[in-house]
């Protein structure tokens, strides 16, 4: 289910901002906590190893190692923000297009109810079936790509049990000899039923505009489903996704070492454990890189505050991309297709079977003079 | 209400630029003043604590703390501008799409007035009701998402009092048995009334183009409202928003400490309060980081000018995003939906009930030779 | 008037590039000269004050002040280019959309000429008035937003004198009781006249396609005008514009001081005016920041070449945004709406009143074998 | 074939991320391994030469050379990420547009099956040929641009053998005297056959809407193919592509030298091979640039870890652009046009020849009450 | 002519990349060679002057000058890449829109051939003239903006000689009294001829759909041409273009001096020509900026390799923008409008005059069972 929070930001006040941060479902906290804990765990292990296990020589080597990698932190590594910006833009665009193409039976239902006349059993059955076929196609299409639909309706059998398809239709579908997928067939049946209704004089019309209009709307519906299918079957090239996802993870892999706090004093309880070669120290202290470390060690922090802030930022951002990448999966933000199918069927049947033509008695509004 | 200021920039002169800055409503100043005052207050408290309360040891620790965090200011923290640029682009796109989809009854009203013939009481009632139903749907839809509409018309009862819906219609709506929201029903009634008018011969037409045209325009109207609903119900994923908003606030939280002016001399009235370990000082002064501090302290400023400039910039920008995020809230820039509903009703009724067909007598224009 | 220069760049040669730079109208030079002169003036005053008026102590303080602010130049201040890039993209998009929506009567005129038959006085009058009403609506709409139209036609009276509206129409408009703006009324009259022509059998047609087509084109015309109106009435939120414009100006306000050339030698004619504390100097020279100043002063330049280059760049860019922001103002690049209105009227009347149906005698082309 | 991996990211978990990295087909690893191996080979050769072959003087020169070029690594060279971001955005846009325009016969097939009545031999032949002509045009068009189609059907003869065109049609095509390409002709034949069917009364219609609708869909199909052709015939200007591709390769060419680890100690087994001029060393060590090298050599690494990470990133990104650039080539991610042609023919023929009108018997659905 | 090279990149291999670089037409090399040679020439002159002509004092001044400007190289000058990225995006968008709007007569030709019945001399003449008028309008429109068309057909006389317009038509056009450009008139003639054909019963139709369809396609054609005209007449504001083009050129103007290799040793053949004040040297060598120079001079390069690489990059990119800016000029990549006109005429006439209705005899395809 998509996570609603627009109410919270109806006014841009500081208080609303705070409330926004305190949500859990679909939040930054929920998507990153696992990886953050893992990362902190390894970071701590490395830190403990350095502080407690290593002897002086190993320490120096470790410190050199840290210094070496600390050149590759921040934007001088690879400009993460930039590539994330472009990638997330692309993913958000595709995600929104998919959302807008998920398909609703409402438009066709209103036209069917309005254009196809007659409320005898047969006509009503045809009208209802047109809608059912639309939902059937939708279900068969999403069955391939949606995590949720696959769980509810694992196969055609399940769809039959749900009443979306009956034996006769199942057989007709099987009898059709085609090497390609057959999930568009019900849409053709709908079109065929409409044509039949026209032939039978059930569509009162001076021209053929009504049929053309109905066909156009059905085509629109089908094209929308096709688009969703395309977005899922022709994803962003794998290499692109790998580059982005890998870059962020490598960044924090390196940060495990590069952002370790080094204990230059090597003093435990005032006793210098590793008296260093003084010349080495002096040349180092007069060098360019060292002071940064010195400043850093002015505060011997055990917790890598700054890196955790970056973790919120970069991993949070890439997680947004990951969860939008396949909006038919099982994330908090993902679209609820099963609910959509149910709603499409309910609404569609309600509209064609009576509701549409039950207009209230017309009485004058209070505004007229 | 949206804040108008295009007149001010009709010519790009320096003077116009100055006038632009002096506005209050919807301005940068109005959106950031509260947070800026809060930030400055805390900054001052920290500054006073450092200068007056701390002893020499605490001072040094505090100074180390400041130096540590001052590494994480500017773009080396996280590239705020970049992520803000992408995020604001996305928000502005959605905001403008929402604006363009707010829905106007005018187009349908003109077609209803033109296509449906007759000015008898019954026909006029039908025409007026088609318009009223459109506005009713709009009101019911915005009731869910707009702060202003919810205040004016908290429920269906309020809409009934406003005359948008009458008892009969309310009952018809309640009688419809549907688990889903019913706010599209009035649109169906409108379509149904149009079909009825066609059947009754009130739409003089050689073909069915007029009905198809009217249906298409009504569908457009409904789709627009649907789009607005989608934008509000499927917002930008929460985690993305949190990442952006949090990054800006963390930046200035860190800046509270990182941008404190340090008083290296530690002199009050020429007396050095904390004579330092000289060797420490000299090694520090020959180091890489220190001079920056020295230069900075050349001018002992109590007011963090540069950070305030950045505050204008970054917080101002994120506030733009926040206020556009939900344009149906209560911000200065937000859309006035209640006014829109009133205008839609007035204009629509005016057009269908007479105004449209009252063309002035045709006389020749003065340009013809 | 928009400034044409595409001819100059028909070939991308060095020579064409030079010619491009030498233009004045609508050029970078024209939009920035005033602010550049102002900036240079103040810069010179500050420079003269520093060099001639200050005593040694004040000089040192001033130099500290300069050094302090010189930290906040360049991209480390706020990433101007980035925010300008996003903002200008947005403004250019809106500018181009506005241009494409300005509205032309040509399409409707050709359809009116083709679909409405008859060249008797009455029919011709109706055809001409349909066009005139379109231009009238356009004029009334631009009257609210265009600097040029407001100057030419300050009110309805002026439009009447120009012949765009006559007494009868003015009265009809006044008689309509509506709290909202009435500038769409003439479009409704046009639609009404078309419907009347159909009823009178002047539109020979087997179906109603012609009326639907004409209505669709008129609606397109009206929607275009509506869009222009929207772009002007719902501008980019004020706070966003203020953030961008302010950032650029603050940048150069700071640069007034930060980019001053400091005269470390303090020598005038070989005499050192302010012999400094040597220790201070040496510690400063061994520090990190100082050399940059030294290098800079190696050439004691009185004219801030580099900052002026940046001025061209940043202020030029923001000026582009300012002048495109309201393209109906009085800038060189702004659209000429008055000319458009005249052309729409001339072309429209010409097409409906004869020109359209005057096809030349048909003779075979020379290409046929 | 496009590489499917959306299933893998149906939930954004760490485990899914790992699985994503382990794929080979279409992956980052597959596209860069060759160039990476080549680069590492040369890097090793240079490294070995420096360490084993050069004498002390040459070493120093080599080291100077390395230091010189090491200024031009990272973003200070040219901002690769930025230009790659813009370029890849452009390429991905074009790639997706091409995908969406590849063309399907389904829509036209359903309309042909629905609008053209009759199941006699002649009518069926016409219906089938309309579809065959569409696929023929598609094949002839892709023959010019698709690597795969060219391999399967190198010329018209091959298409004839495949049954897409027969002798009579081939002759008709040859007889047409036109200097331009003739691959749109079959589409015209389809249109002509439709018109003929209308004339023969096979399209039962009260108006001409059906013909107009069919033509519109055929035009859409043709325009889509035209668009694909345009994208391939008017590619992104060569110079732009060269700039981007060259920049990335030059970056790593420079990195071959600039990122070599320098062995300042020049010690092999504790023996200093090249005792340096001490003054030179000291001035160097007190200089600004040297420490970076010192830190770097703290860990004498033989493998350029950091550069390889950048290689993944930059070369991977540019490879994405290269493989999307011509999606009709032979890369893993490229579209399978031959399969599309086969599917279009099969589906189209199946729909027009019976399947469409074989609707299952209509029985009431289980949802009705 | 657009430069085709998509074949070269059908597979993304290293070899294909090399082939891509070796092209000349439309390549990076061709567009920048002239400016590169010029730049190198001046660079060499400056370099020779410094090395051979200047005396010691002038050298020092020159070196100071170089050091001063070398602060303003790279991204610290103005972020060229960024502004180029946004600008090139905008230019490429407009370029592609122009390409897609260039106009083809094919669609209208097929509809004319299909809808207008009759193959008598008169009808064929009308059909052919409809096409010719379309091409005539196109020619008259491009005459104003296309370099190539202006060369081929400098005036209406030339068009008459080419057979695109005859005396009668020329006279009709001249007789029309209009202050505005008349190049849309032939399109109106085409519309008028279609209406006339309808009136004469040559368009067999049950409704008016055919006329509306033909008009819609003609309007589309005209709107496309209008769009091209708009893009050329309302270019990107001059100031924006100047800012971008100027920034790149200023960058390399500054680089002429800033990237000169300085010869600190001042030794020619081992003899130090300018023994310096030692204190100055030492303070300089201990300063921050100097080492960079020292490193740079470690390799005394006469050829500015790195700057040339940047030249490829930045000037190449801006040249892409320049050549796409006016795609109707005379660059290698520019569109060939004259060929388009010829093709439009040939194809259009071929289709309306016979080819369209010459469908091959219908025989069954080999796929049917």
The DSSP bridge partners found for residue D116 are D203
pLDDT at C297 over 60: no
Is residue A331 pLDDT above 80, yes or no?
no
> Which of D277 and D341 is assigned the larger pLDDT?
D341
Q: What is the pLDDT of residue A68?
A: 76
What is the C-alpha to C-alpha distance for residues E30 and E19, in angstroms, rounded to an integer? 16
Which pairing describes strands B271-272 and D267-268: parallel, antiparallel, or unpaired?
A: unpaired
Residue A364 touches chain B, beta carbons under 8 Å: yes
Task: Please name the residue of chain B whose CA is at the shortest distance from the CA of residue A10.
Answer: B329
Neighbours of B216 (CB within 10 A): 16
pLDDT of residue C275: 53
List all residues of chain C from 303 to 332 with a beta carbon under 8 Å from chain E: 306, 309-310, 312-314, 316-317, 319-320, 323-324
Nearest to B180 among A346, A356, A357 (CB): A346
Contact C232, C328 (CB under 8 A): yes
CB pair distance less than 8 Å for A129 and D362: yes
Q: Which of A28, A92, A106 sits opposite B242 (nearest CB)?
A: A28
CA distance linking residue E297 with residue D64, whole number of Å: 9
Predicted pLDDT of residue B144: 87
Furthest CA-CA distance within chain D: 103
Task: Write down which chains contact chain E via at least 3 CB pairs under 8 A.
Answer: C, D
Interface residue D77 vs chain E (CB under 8 A): yes
Angle C38-C39-C44 from CA coordinates, rounded to 5°: 100
How much is the pLDDT for D102? Answer: 92
Under the banding of pLDDT at 50, 70 and 90, the label for residue C9 is low
Q: How far apart are the first and last CA of chain D?
A: 48
Going through chain A in order, the beta strands assigned E by DSSP cover 267-268, 271-272
| CB spacing of C209 vs E208 below 8 angstroms | yes
Question: Shortest CA distance to A109 belongs to which of A358, A360, A344?
Answer: A344
State yes or no: pLDDT of E284 exceeds 50.
Answer: no
pLDDT band at A96 (very low <50, low <70, confident <90, very high): very high
Is some CB atom of chain D closer than 8 A to the CB atom of A195? yes
Whether pLDDT at A77 is above 70? no
How far, in Å, CA of C344 to CA of D191, rounded?
38
Q: What single DSSP character describes residue E237?
A: P
Place of tokens 């005052």: B37
Mark residue B155 as left, alpha or beta (left: phi above 0; alpha: psi -120 to 50; beta: remaining).
beta
Cα(B260)–Cα(C349) distance, integer angstroms = 72
What size, in residues, is chain E?
369
What is the model's pLDDT at position D16? 74
First to last CA, chain B: 48
Listed residue (D194, D168, D46, D114) closest to D355, CA to CA: D114
CB contact under 8 A, B189 and A286: no
Per-residue pLDDT band at D69 (split at 50, 70, 90): confident
Q: Is D26 on the interface with A (CB under 8 A)?
A: yes
D257 to chain E, closest Cα gap in Å: 14
Tell me the per-residue pLDDT of D106-129, one tens digit each, with 9 for 90 and over. 999 999 999 998 888 899 999 999
What is the C-alpha to C-alpha distance for residues A217 and A132, in angstroms, rounded to an integer?
Answer: 16
Q: How far is CA A6 from CA B139, B201, B282, B317, in A?
A: 19, 47, 56, 19
CB atoms within 10 A of CB B263: 17
Q: Which helix (H) or strand (E) holds B271?
A: strand B271-272
What number of helices (H) and strands (E) belong to chain C?
16, 2
Q: Give the model's pLDDT for residue E60.
A: 80
Are the C-beta atoms of A192 and A169 separated by less than 8 Å?
no
Query: What are E33's two structure tokens?
Result: 């060679």
Q: Which of A163, C209, E320, C141 is nearest to D364 (CA)?
A: A163
Give the model's confidence band at C175: pLDDT under 50 very low, under 70 low, under 90 confident, else very high: confident
Q: What is the pLDDT of residue D323?
A: 83
Q: Mean of the pLDDT values across residues D218-241?
A: 91
CA angle E298, E300, E304 (to 5 degrees): 120
Residue A52: which residues within 8 A CB-CB, separation 6 or more? none
- For residue range D47-58, list pLDDT tens digits in order: 888 888 888 888
Closest CA to D186 of B26, B224, E355: E355
Both tokens of C106, joined, read 């040509």
Residue A19, pLDDT above cutoff 90: no
Residue A284, pLDDT > 80, answer no
- Does A257 touch chain D if contact means CB atoms closer than 8 Å? no
Run of H or E including D271: strand D271-272
Q: Which of E66, E77, E239, E286 to mutate to test the interface with C (most CBs of C within 10 A)?
A: E239
Nearest residue to C348 via CA among C139, C152, C149: C139
- Confidence (pLDDT) at A263: 63
Instruction: Quote the pLDDT of residue C293.
Output: 42
**Residue A362 Cα, gap to closest chain B Cα (Å):** 7
Contacts with C, E 220-249, CB within 8 Å: 230, 232-243, 245-247, 249
The predicted pLDDT at position A362 comes to 87
C39 neighbors C252 (Cβ within 8 angstroms): yes
Mean pLDDT of E335-341: 91
List the one residue out of D334, D310, D337, D315 whose CA is nearest residue D323.
D334
Q: How far is D298 from chain E (nearest CA, A)?
A: 20
Cβ-proximal residues to A362 (8 Å cutoff; 6+ apart), any chain: B122, B125, B126, B129, B193
Residues D106 and D96: their CA atoms lie apart, in Å, by: 20
Cα E356 to Cα E119: distance, rounded to the nearest angstrom: 12
Instruction: Please determine, for residue D134, whether its predicted confidence score (pLDDT) is greater than 70.
Output: yes
Q: Which of A99-113, A265-279, A329-343, D9-23 has the highest mean pLDDT?
A: A99-113
CA-closest candidate to residue B313, choices B246, B261, B251: B251
pLDDT tens readout for residues E86-118: 899 999 999 999 999 999 999 999 999 999 988
C107 in contact with chain E, both atoms CB, cutoff 8 A = yes
What's the distance, CA E287 to chain centroid?
49
CB contact under 8 A, C129 and B365: yes
Nearest residue of chain B to residue C62 (CA atoms)? B299
Give chain B positions within 8 Å (CB) of A248. Answer: none
D293 pLDDT band, cuts 50/70/90, is: very low
Q: Of D335, D347, D345, which is closest to residue D162 (Cα–Cα)?
A: D345
Distance from CA of C13 to the nearest CA of B (A): 32
Question: How many Å is the maximal CA-CA distance in chain A?
Answer: 103
- Is the separation of the CB atoms in B333 and B324 below 8 Å? yes
Q: Is D288 helix (H, G, I), strand (E, B) or coil?
A: coil
Q: Does any CB of chain A come closer than 8 Å to the CB of residue B286?
A: yes
Model pTM score:
0.90
Res. A291 pLDDT band, cuts 50 70 90: very low
Question: Of all residues in chain A, what percent are helix, strand and coil, respectively (each to 5)?
Answer: 70, 0, 30
Q: Specify whether the CB–CB gap between B114 and A352 falls below 8 A.
A: no
Q: Which of E63, E93, E188, E238 to mutate to test the interface with C (most CBs of C within 10 A)?
A: E238
- Per the model's pLDDT, the better-predicted residue between B245 and C218 turns out to be C218
Average pLDDT over every residue of A8-34: 78
Which of the residue ranges A120-129, B279-288, C28-37 would you say has the lowest mean pLDDT? B279-288
Give residue E13's region: left, alpha or beta (phi > 0; psi -120 to 50): beta
State residue E57's pLDDT score. 81
Is-contact A259 A307, C-beta < 8 A? yes
Closest CA to D187 of D103, D247, D121: D103
Instruction: Name every chain E residue with its beta carbon within 8 A of the beta carbon of D79.
Output: 75, 81-82
Whether B78 has a pLDDT exceeding 80, the answer reads: no
Segment C340-367 mean pLDDT: 86
Instruction: Give the alpha-carbon dihedral of D191, D192, D196, D198, to 10 degrees.
Output: 20
Q: Which of B145, B163, B172 sits opposite A360 (nearest CB)?
A: B172
The answer to whether the Cα torsion of A154, A156, A162, A164 is positive or negative is positive
Contact between C310 and C258 (Cβ < 8 Å) = no
Which candidate, E118, E16, E10, E99, places its Cα nearest to that of E336? E99
The residues near C78 (Cβ < 8 Å, ≥ 6 apart) are B81, B309, B310, B313, B314, C247, C251
User: What is the enclosing helix (H) or strand (E) of B151?
Assistant: helix B147-152
Mean local confidence (pLDDT), B284-308: 53
Q: Which residues of D touch E1 (CB under 8 A)?
A: none
Provide, as residue numbers in chain E, all residues whose Cβ is less than 8 Å from the Cβ of C214: none
Q: What is the structure's pLDDT at D307? A: 83
pLDDT, average across residues A38-53 = 88
Q: The dihedral of CA A22, A28, A30, A36: what is its sign? A: negative
Query: What CA–CA distance (Å, rounded) separates D284 from D290?
Result: 6
- Contact status, residue B190 vs residue B77, Cβ threshold 8 Å: no
Task: List CB contacts (< 8 A) between B193 and chain A.
Answer: 359, 362
Q: Determine the Cα–Cα distance for residues C318 and C283; give it in Å rounded to an integer.
A: 42
- pLDDT over 70 percentage in chain A: 83
d(C-alpha A264, C-alpha B211), whole Å = 84
Which chains contact C through at least 3 pairs of Cβ atoms less than 8 Å apart? B, E
| Nearest in space to B55 (alpha carbons), one of B236, B273, B294, B271 | B273
A207 to chain D, any CB pair closer than 8 A? The answer is yes
Closest-CA residue of D relative to A220 is D107
pLDDT greater than 70 at residue D39? yes
Window from A265-279, A287-301, B264-278, D291-305 with minimum mean pLDDT? A287-301
Q: Do the Cβ atoms of B206 and C211 come within 8 Å? A: no
């Amino acid at each position: 289910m998509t996570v609603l929070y627009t109410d919270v930001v109806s006014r841009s006040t500081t208080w609303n901002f705070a409330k926004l941060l305190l949500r859990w479902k679909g939040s930054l906290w929920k998507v990153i906590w696992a990886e953050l804990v893992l990362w902190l765990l390894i970071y701590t292990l490395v830190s403990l190893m350095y502080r407690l296990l290593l002897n002086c020589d190993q320490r120096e080597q470790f410190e050199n190692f840290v210094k070496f990698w600390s050149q590759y932190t921040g934007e001088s590594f690879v400009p993460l923000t930039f590539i994330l910006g472009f990638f997330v833009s692309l993913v958000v665009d595709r995600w929104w297009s998919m959302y807008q193409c998920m398909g609703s039976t409402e438009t066709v239902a209103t036209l069917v109810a309005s254009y196809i006349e007659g409320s005898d059993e047969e006509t009503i059955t045809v009208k209802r079936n047109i809608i059912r076929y639309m939902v059937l196609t939708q279900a068969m299409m999403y069955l391939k790509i949606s995590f949720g639909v696959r769980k509810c309706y694992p196969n055609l059998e399940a769809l039959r049990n749900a009443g979306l398809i009956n034996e006769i239709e199942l057989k007709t579908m099987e009898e059709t000899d085609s090497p390609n997928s057959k999930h568009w067939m019900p849409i053709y049946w709908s079109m065929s039923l409409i044509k039949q209704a026209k032939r039978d004089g059930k569509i009162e019309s001076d021209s053929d505009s009504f049929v053309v209009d109905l066909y156009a709307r059905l085509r629109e519906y089908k094209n929308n489903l096709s688009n969703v299918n395309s977005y899922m079957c022709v994803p962003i090239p794998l290499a692109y996704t790998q580059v982005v996802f890998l870059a962020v993870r490598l960044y924090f892999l390196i940060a495990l070492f590069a952002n370790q706090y080094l204990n230059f004093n090597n003093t435990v309880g005032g006793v210098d454990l590793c008296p260093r070669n003084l010349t080495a120290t002096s040349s180092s202290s007069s060098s360019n890189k060292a002071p940064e470390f010195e400043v850093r060690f002015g505060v011997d922090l055990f917790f890598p505050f700054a890196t955790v802030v970056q973790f919120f930022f970069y991993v949070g951002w890439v997680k947004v991309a990951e969860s939008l990448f396949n909006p038919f999966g099982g994330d908090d933000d993902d679209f609820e297709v099963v609910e959509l199918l149910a709603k499409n069927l309910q609404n569609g049947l309600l509209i064609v079977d009576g509701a549409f033509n039950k207009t209230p008695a017309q009485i004058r509004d209070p505004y007229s003079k």
